[in-house]
């Protein structure tokens, strides 16, 4: 629990969540529907579940199976509310850090809009990237579990051990209680947590069949640059302790560790503060996450690299039994479509 002082406000938040959820349960027909099926990837928590690397892994798996994809995202942290197609060579300020990273890694069309339905309509107007053969064209809805205004064929929910121990906002980071997992079409678990979480899922389903469970392997790698011997580590992510532990697993011993707020925007004053911190602790370089690195413009990177080398770490996800997972997913999509 991150903010125990706010625990008295949790019942009020829970009541609001229950009211909103029941409204969608009573009127599912009010959700806006796109022409192509939507596969939502989401979680119970406000951040840190690993949705971005999972979306990338799922997109890669679907494309290997021959399906056309695009990604729809809100584009959190961007400076505009326009409906935009992400330019992989653009800036995080224009598109948001996660959509930009997805566009760069997946190489597929990514669209951002406050209303994801608007992003989907734009995607469907760009018909040139949609497949016209027997395979499906699919929208991947990034961070979509709570965005029930948009109809979806499948709800994939990432569930972690941290979620199981957490409480609702504003004291914790959960957007919804654990019972919301009953809405999931598929639950994705981290490989190292799966055995511990399966019994919990059985209890919450109260005798009902647990949705299909996917197992995701996660591997941290330094994907850019050779780390300095004593780097300053910095990140602006929801769960910085995970980055700290990943560095330790790669035998990187930071001179100091700076945890910034999630979706931290970088500008020259912020970089100068990091440089001052590096000099104070005698760091001889920098290491950060891919999500942070995508927000560093060339001038900002040069400011850091004038002091010492910059290395970047990233989490890569792979689905166990990928062929079966994709086949099960497509079967769910086709079942949903047949009922329309």
Which residues are documented as binding site? 45-52
From CA 172, how far away is CA 80, in angstroms rounded? 29
Q: Which residues are annotated as a binding site for ATP?
A: 45-52
Please name every residue paired with 155 in a beta bridge, in sequence order, or none if there are none: 40
% helix, strand, coil for the chain, step of 5: 40, 20, 35
* Alpha-carbon gap, residue 226 to 221, rounded angstroms: 11
Distance (Å, whole) CA 314 – CA 247: 10
Is residue 230 exposed (0-12), middle (13-18) or buried (19+ Cβ within 10 Å)? middle
Q: What is the rounded distance in angstroms from the CA atom of residue 197 to the CA atom of residue 153?
A: 25
Distance (Å) of CA 243 to CA 132, 253, 292: 41, 12, 12
């Amino acid at each position: 629990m991150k903010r125990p002082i706010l625990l008295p406000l949790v019942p009020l938040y829970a009541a609001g969540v229950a009211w909103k959820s029941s409204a969608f349960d009573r009127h599912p027909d009010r959700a806006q529907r796109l022409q192509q099926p939507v596969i939502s990837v989401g979680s119970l928590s406000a951040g840190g579940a690993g949705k971005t690397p999972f979306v990338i892994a799922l997109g890669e798996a679907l494309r290997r199976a021959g399906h056309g994809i695009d990604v729809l995202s809100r584009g959190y942290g961007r400076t505009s509310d326009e409906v935009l197609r992400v330019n992989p060579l653009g800036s995080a300020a224009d598109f948001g850090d996660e959509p930009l990273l997805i566009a760069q890694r997946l190489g597929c069309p990514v669209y951002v809009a406050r209303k994801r339905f608007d992003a989907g309509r734009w995607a469907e107007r760009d018909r040139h990237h949609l497949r016209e053969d027997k395979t499906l064209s699919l929208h991947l809805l990034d961070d979509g579990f709570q965005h029930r205004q948009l109809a979806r064929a499948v709800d994939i929910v990432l569930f972690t051990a941290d979620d199981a121990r957490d409480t609702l906002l504003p004291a914790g980071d959960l957007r919804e209680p654990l019972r919301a997992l009953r809405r999931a079409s598929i639950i994705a678990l981290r490989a190292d947590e799966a055995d511990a979480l399966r019994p919990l899922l059985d209890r919450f389903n109260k005798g009902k069949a647990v949705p299909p469970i996917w197992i995701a392997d996660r591997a941290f790698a330094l994907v850019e640059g050779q780390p300095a011997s004593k780097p300053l580590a910095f990140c602006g992510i929801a769960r910085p302790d995970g980055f700290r532990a990943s560095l330790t697993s790669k035998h990187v011993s930071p001179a100091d560790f700076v945890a910034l707020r999630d979706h931290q925007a970088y500008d020259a004053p912020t970089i100068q503060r990091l440089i001052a911190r590096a000099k104070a602790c005698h760091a001889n370089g920098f290491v950060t996450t891919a999500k942070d690195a995508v927000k560093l413009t060339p001038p900002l990177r040069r400011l850091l690299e004038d002091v010492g080398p910059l290395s970047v770490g990233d989490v890569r996800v792979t689905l166990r039994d990928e062929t079966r997972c994709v086949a099960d997913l497509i079967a769910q999509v086709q079942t949903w479509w047949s009922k329309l």
